[in-house]
Every structure is written in C-alpha cells, then in structure tokens.
A and B are shown apart, each in its own frame.
Chain A
Amino acid sequence: MSKAKRQHLIDPEICIRCYTCEDACPIDAITHDDNNVVVDASICNFCMDCISPCPTGSIDNWRFVTKAYSLDAQFEWDELPEQEDIGDDNDSLGEAIEDDIGALISKAHAGTGGRPVAPASASKASINLFSRANPVVATVQGSYRITDADAENDVQHIILGLGDTVFPVLEGQSVGIVPPGTRDDGRPHDFRLYSICSARDGEKRNGNNIALTVKRVDGGLCSEYLCNLKRGDKVEITGPFGSTFLMPNDPNCNIVMICTGTGSAPFRAFTERRRRAMPGASGKLVMYFGARTPGELPYFGPLKKVPTSVLEQHLVYSRLKDQPKEYVQDRMRKHADSLTELLTSEQTHIFICGLKGMETGVDEALADVCRGKGLVWDEIKPQMRRQGRYHVETY
C-alpha cells in the first residue's frame, strides 16, 4: 500500500461558518463557498495557527490519505468521510507529522500492545507546531542536579524559557532535540525525544517555560550536550509531540503512575497539574517509583513535600543497605487489594514510563495481582487500552 499522508479537514456538521480559521490562517490555505469551509491540502503546511481560535473544534480533524481530497470534493460534503483503510504499518500516525519522530514514538509505545488511544477526557494535543526546519530557540533558565551529588546517576532538571513563542503543551507530551553539529557523513544528528516534566501552564505558572528531566549518559551525545548547558545558553527544540500518552482532565479519574528513573518526568507534570488545577479531585493519584536508593531517585526532595492528599507515593528501593531488594513490581504485589479495586473501576488509568526493561516485570505483577482476585489481566489490559486507559512509554 502506498505511503499515506496526513490531510487537514474541517467537519462540516460541527462547523458554524464563522470563518475565524480563515482569518487566522497566515498563508490563505482556508477558503469557503456557500456550503462549506475547507482546507486546501496543496497549501496547508500544518502550522496549526487555526486550531486554537476555532470555537467548535470542527477544525481539528485529520485523515490519512493516499490521495488528498480536492476542494471541490470538500465543498460537497455534508459530513466527513470515514478514515480510509491505509493499512496498519504505522501505529504512530497522529502523534507527530515527521516520520522519524513518529517512529521514535511508535517504538516507545510498543508496550501498549496495540494502537494507543488517548484518555477520553484528555485535552486535544497540539502537535508538530515547530519542526526541524522551524525550531523554537529556547533559553536555559536553570539547570540543576536532582540526584544526590554522590549518586551514580547524574539526572538534571533543565528549565527552558520560551520567550515570546507560544508553545502549548500538555502533560505527557515530549519535545524533540537535535544535538548541534553533524555526523561524520555531514548529515545532521538524529532527533532525541524528552518528556516534558512541567505542567501545561509552565514550570513557573504562566512563565511560558517548560522543564525536562535528562539523565547524563556517558558518551551520550545529546544528554551530555543538554546536561552541560548553562543558564542563558540557547537550545533549539521542536514539537510538541505525542497525542495519546496524555493526562486525563477529569478530576474523577484515578491515575496509577508506574516509573523508574527519568520515566518520572511526565508524572511530575501530572502531579503538578493535579495540584494546581484540581486540588479537590476525587480521583486518586498513585505513584509507584523505583530507584536504587533515595539518593538515586530523581526529585526525592520535592516529592517528600507533596501532600498525600494530592499524591499517594510508593517509593521503592532496590539497593538499600541491610534490606532485601525491592522493585516496583514487588510493591505492587503487596498492594493487590487496592490495585484490584482500582483496576475494576472504569475511572482508572494506568501509565507506565521508564526503561524498556521494567515492562515485563510490571506486566507480570499486574497479572498476578489480577489472578489473586479472580480477574484476568489479559482481558482487562486490551479493554483498558481501547478505552484510552492503559499507556506505556518506554525506551
């Protein structure tokens, strides 16, 4: 099957023909006749300027097409056509526009076990507002180590100011960074994706900045580059990316967050969002966070200050002196009662983020927990996934 392309369309059943999008489009890709408002596929460059001003959400529709719908065809529509069958060679369609980013996300989400679906109450994510050809130049506002000075892992919390650029993000989304310079063959380096660890309204509220959690990898080109940045340095970022691994907005949702290391980044964002926007949320926010020691656990200090009314924390250590090794899956097994209660609620969402290696252990733990209570994880998991309640992002 030939390679599908993304086409921007407007839902004629929802659109109220206010032409706000037409005014917002900087390159006149949007036009109308007496019937419909339509987007010209040969002009639209996915700059997304029209998305936010639309009062109805009708503008935010996309199809993957092998041949673009013409203006004339769109003028005739009373409703949007169904998505044509383009084959399932790419699960990440819709997470990013650029193929290389899509491939990265696809790989990270592979553990979900099928096409990932965004939580029902998540906000619609803006994606790909800034591309490799058109990156945002951010300014480092601060960078500090969030693991102990003597810890083996050097994990940095890096705050990036976006100046006057509007860069709307949601908790769970990532940004792309290309290390400066070129490869030996003269081509630019590959993209790296980093989860944003700050809430949608900024690391500092309304500060128009974001924060990243970056682990220094010895000899790692991009991580070394980022961890060595100093206050005031400039760094080019692209994105935002990701349209499924997103925080549910519904305060009634229970969110179970399971992570290790820098996998905690999106969950720091989730927690901050809950704390700021839904202080009285009835849904539970539960975290299972594994590290070797407290000193190796990113954000150990700040986490201690988050009240239990906001976040139920289970910090689990595998290298404590004179103590048996404990991993997140061990602690989860101990909590079989509370976890099965959560798993049987339609309000519960599970998010797993960290190294690929944690996937199997966590999956087995969830299966064990279910088995003990007469539930079948292999049936629950796909159902949760289809309902946008099961998410995996590992690397």
Chain B
Amino acid sequence: MNELNVSYDTSIPNNVGLADDRRVLKALEKWHPGYLDWWKTMGPEGFQESMVYLRTAVSVDPKGWAQFGYVKMPEYRWGVLLAPQEEGRTIPFGNHMGEPVWQEIPGEYRAMLRRLVVIQGDTEPASVEQQRHLGATAPSLYDMRNLFQVNVEEARHLWAMVYLLQKYFGSDGREESAELLRRRSGDVDKPRMLGAFNEATPDWLSFFMFTYFTDRDGKMQLESLAQSGFDPLSRTCRFMLTEEAHHMFVGESGISRVVQRTCEAMKEAGITDPYDIEAIRKLGVIDLPTVQKKANLHYTLSLDLFGSEISTNAANAFNAGLKGRYQETKIDDDHRLLDATYPVMKLIDGKPTLVNEPALTAINMRLRDDYSADAAKGVQRWNKVISKAGVDFELTLPHTAFHRHIGEFANINVTPDGELVDNESFSRQRDRWLPSVEDGEYIASLMKGCMEPGKYANWISPPKVAIDNLPGDFEFVQIAA
C-alpha cells in the first residue's frame, strides 16, 4: 500500500495497513470505546455537540496533509499516522551508529523503550485533562477553536503512542494502554507521571504559557525521539511534530496578543509606567509584571521536565540508539560522545557554576539548553511588540536555578537573577517573582467567555491572521449547532 495516503476503511484512519493487521486492529478497536469514554468524561467540558472548525490530518504528504472543516469533537477522526519510511535510514548515534534502523524492537532494549513511550504517551491526555474547563471562558471563538484543535491533536498523539504499545509490546502494551486512560491529571491516587502535567491550567494566560513553555518541552522530547533507531517511533514522532508546531503557535501568538493589548490600553489611557499595576488593572488588561511572573512559573516548571542534569538513564537511551539529541544529524561530532564533555551548571561553593562533565551523562542538560535557547527567541519577539508600542519594559527568562524542584538546584533558593538567598528571604519576596493569590484572582476575574463571532475579550488583541486564511470574525465554533 502507499503509506502517503490514509486509509479510512477501518474505524481508525491510518497509514500503517491496519486493515491487514488483524491483531493490532482488534486490540485498538477494543481500546477505542474506553478512549471515547475518557474523551467524553475528561475531554473539553461542554461544547461536545458544537460544530468546531478543525483541521484533520488526511495524509502525511506535505501537500495538503490536513483538511479544515466543521466537526463535532467526539466525531473527530483520530488516526494513526506515521511519516513515510526513509529508504536506507541508519541509526544516527550511539553504539549502533551506522547500522540499519530497527523495524522491530531489539529484546534487550524493550523495557527502556517501553518506558520512553509510556512517559511520552502519558503527557498527551494529561494536557487535555488540564485544559478541560477552559472552553467556557474563551476570549473569542477563534481562541476556543485553537484550544479544541490543540486538545484533539494531543489526543491523537495519545493514539500514536498507544499504537506503538499495542503493535510492539504485546500484553504489556495492552496493559500500559489501559493505564494511560486510568491516570488523571492532578489525581491524588492516580496522578499523571510528570509534575508539570499535574498542575492546574486555571485560566487562559496559563494556557498560553503552557502551550508556549510546556508544549515546547514536548517538542524537544519529540525531536530527540524522532532521531530514534527504532524506526516506527522515529516516524511517529516526525509526524507529531508537524502538528505540535501549531501548539507552539497558539502559545506564542497568544502571549503576544495579550502583551499587545496591554500596551495599547496603557497608551490609550496615557499610562507610561508598566509597574503602575493598580491603574493598569483598572483598564481590564493584564499588567506586564504579572505576565513576567506567569512566564517565570511556567518556564521553571517546564525546565523540571528535562529531569536531572546528570542522568545515566539518558546516557543509556543514547548509547542504545533509542533517544538522540535535538537535531542530532545536524550536530558536527562523532555522535557517540565517547570522550566528549559538556558544560553543566552545578552548585559550587554556593554559586551556580558551569562545570565540564562527560557529555554522555549530560544529555538532558544539553536538551534543556537547546530548549532554553528556543524559548528565549519567542520572548525576544514579545519584547519587539512591547518596544514597538513604546512601552519601557522587557520580558526575560529567569535564571536556570530559580524555582526548581528537580535536579541540581531543587533544594536551594535562588532569585530570578541567579543570586542565592535563604529561605526566609525567598518566602518574603516570592510574590514579586511568582504569581500571587491576588494575581490569580485578578486574572480569574477577567476570564469571561466572549462567544460572538469577531468579538475578542478586552484583555487580548485579535490575531493578525487567523488560521486557514480565514478572517478573525469567522464563526470558528458554532456553539448551538
């Protein structure tokens, strides 16, 4: 069969020949009802009967890979789509470098790979759960549609991981697939596996921050799994990245529009001091210092997702050829890292200091650095919006050691500038650096649904361009349909 085209002749659209793979098809069909139950109980609250203008992946060919149209979310065609197989692809790093990629899992790496797939898989439904209450307070139909697009695609990414589990991991895979539907974000007894995915997403500013900072961690993880010597995993992740890019866009443009609206409102009201928070909040917009605090929070929670700076697990996965580095094939080195070192930030004499460590065990650190560089670029673009509006304020990313719960800096207190302080001093100043209860309450007070086509909540600008070349006043969600 041609893998560019998606087959719709089973209930699960796919380009992996499911119709001829009775065992896996049966397993997925058995999993499907539980999945739909999960979507209905843990997916977006309300709006399940609304017609939403969504894109559905219909091909993995870049020409016309997606189609836009109105669809009720429970009727979305979630499918299993892998990027086309590359003829003659070889393992690009680690001990097996240069060998042909694996189409089946080598027995000795089974457990390690299962863990990687399950962790990735667990984040996908988790974010849907975290965001399920946001529909009712959407600042516009356009934003609501973007939220739901992110949700259905994260759910499709769950499908992608479950396919790998069902296809390659036998009864273990079936059990893990079921577990993915049992865990719940923030649940005391059965939480999701990673910390940031158990935090609440209480408001739209958090949602934009989450899609900008936390989904970007997802992007980096997918990028490094896309390098994998296990070819089906690589191909799955490569296609997921095409969708993930939209999620980054929702975050970056979302914050950009918040910042722009704040600057405009300040200008109209003749306010020049960005720290005149009381006056700015009277305008019903989000003051820039609060945007900064939200960024501090979400950036640091996302840094924690990269794990410990020094990690033998990461080294093992690299050696085994299962998980590479960001843009592995574009890096100019031996791709084995036998003698290489990498500068790792550690706490030396009470000061965060760069120390050369074996590059192999510093894989996490390197990915995190690549992440930080990527995240910093968008912050610069937000700053352009601010400076263009003539407001004297600059958003920054806090120091790596600030507000950390995992790794080298988990048990110390550091200011956003990187200065070590004691517990008491940190607690006293915490609300200057991280969102306070009052900040949360103020943001919550702005969260009122704005559901008329073409109308946008007062705290956010309309988009410069909407999706699918449609105007901003298009009826992106037909609520009462």
Contact = CB atoms under 8 A, between A and B. Distances in A.
A55 interface: yes
A208 B248 CA distance: 31
Contact of B469 (A13, A60, A250): A60
Contact of A16 (B378, B474, B478): B378
A120 interface: yes
A252 interface: yes
Contact of A164 (B2, B70, B475): B2
A170 B474 CA distance: 18
Contact of B63 (A54, A78, A122, A168): A168
Contact of A166 (B64, B70, B384, B474): B64
B259 to A, nearest CB: 14
B471 A120 contact: yes
B465 A14 contact: yes
A166 B4 contact: yes
A130 B327 CA distance: 32
A249 B470 contact: yes
A201 interface: yes
A48 B63 contact: yes
A376 interface: no
Q: How large is the interface on B (under 10, 10 to 19, 20 to 34, 35 or more residues)?
A: 35 or more
Interface stretch (B162-170, B238-246, B399-407): B238-246
B64 A164 contact: no
A224 B58 CA distance: 35
A56 B249 contact: yes
A268 B67 CA distance: 20
Contacts of A166: 4, 59, 61, 63-65
B469 A123 contact: yes
A184 B478 CA distance: 58
Nearest to B65: A52
Contacts of A129: 63
Contact of A250 (B62, B374, B474): B474
B38 interface: no
Contact of B249 (A50, A55, A200): A55
A60 to B, nearest CB: 7
A293 B377 CA distance: 66
Given A55-B249, A78-B384, A166-B64, A277 B69 contact: yes
Q: Chain B interface secondary structure, helix, strand, loop or mixed?
A: mixed
A57 B465 contact: yes
A57 B245 CA distance: 12
Nearest to A130: B63
Interface in A89-136: 120-124, 126, 129
Given A17-B377, A55-B249, A60-B469, A250 B475 contact: yes
Contact of A18 (B58, B59, B245): B245
Contact of B470 (A17, A123, A164, A167): A123
Given A206-B8, A250-B474, A251-B475, A53 B469 contact: no
B62 A249 contact: no
B333 interface: no
A20 interface: yes
B130 to A, nearest CB: 21
A164 B4 contact: yes
Name which of B2, B62, B469 has the most chain A CB atoms within 10 A of its CB: B62
The A contact surface, by secondary structure, is loop
Contact of B62 (A53, A57, A121, A206): A53
Interface string A55-81: 111101000000000000000001000
A29 interface: no
Nearest to B463: A14
A49 interface: yes
B90 interface: no
A121 B66 CA distance: 18
Contacts of A34: 377
Interface in A1-47: 13-14, 16-18, 20, 23-24, 34
B462 to A, nearest CB: 14
A339 to B, nearest CB: 25
A280 interface: yes
A278 interface: yes
A164 B60 CA distance: 11
A164 B67 CA distance: 17
B253 A56 contact: yes
Contacts of A164: 2, 4-5
Contact of A57 (B5, B58, B467, B471): B467
Contact of B65 (A14, A53, A56): A53
B108 to A, nearest CB: 31
Contacts of A201: 67, 69
Interface in B370-419: 374, 377-378, 384
A168 B249 CA distance: 24
Contacts of B377: 17, 34
A273 B408 CA distance: 58
A23 B248 CA distance: 16
Contacts of A54: 245
B378 A121 contact: no
A19 B58 CA distance: 22
Contacts of A122: 469
Contact of B5 (A24, A126, A208): A208
A155 to B, nearest CB: 29
Contacts of B481: 280
Contacts of A18: 219, 245, 248-249
Interface in B454-477: 464-465, 467-471, 474-475
Contact of B66 (A13, A20, A52): A52
A249 B468 CA distance: 10
B469 A50 contact: no
A167 B64 contact: yes
A233 B27 CA distance: 41
Given A14-B465, A166-B4, A121 B474 contact: yes
B154 interface: no
Interface of A: 13-14, 16-18, 20, 23-24, 34, 48-50, 52-58, 60, 78, 120-124, 126, 129, 164, 166-168, 200-201, 206, 208, 249-252, 277-278, 280
Given A52-B65, A164-B2, A164-B4, 17 more contacts: A13-B464, A16-B378, A17-B378, A20-B242, A52-B62, A53-B65, A55-B249, A57-B467, A126-B63, A164-B5, A166-B64, A168-B63, A249-B470, A250-B475, A251-B478, A277-B70, A278-B70
Interface of B: 2, 4-5, 8, 51, 58-59, 61-70, 219, 241-242, 245-246, 248-249, 252-253, 374, 377-378, 384, 464-465, 467-471, 474-475, 478, 481
22 contacts: A16-B249, A17-B374, A18-B245, A20-B245, A23-B241, A53-B62, A53-B242, A55-B249, A58-B465, A60-B469, A121-B474, A126-B63, A164-B2, A166-B65, A167-B63, A168-B64, A206-B58, A249-B468, A249-B470, A251-B70, A251-B478, A278-B70
What 5 A-B pairs have minimum CB-CB distances, sorted nearest first?
A168-B64, A124-B469, A55-B246, A55-B245, A18-B245
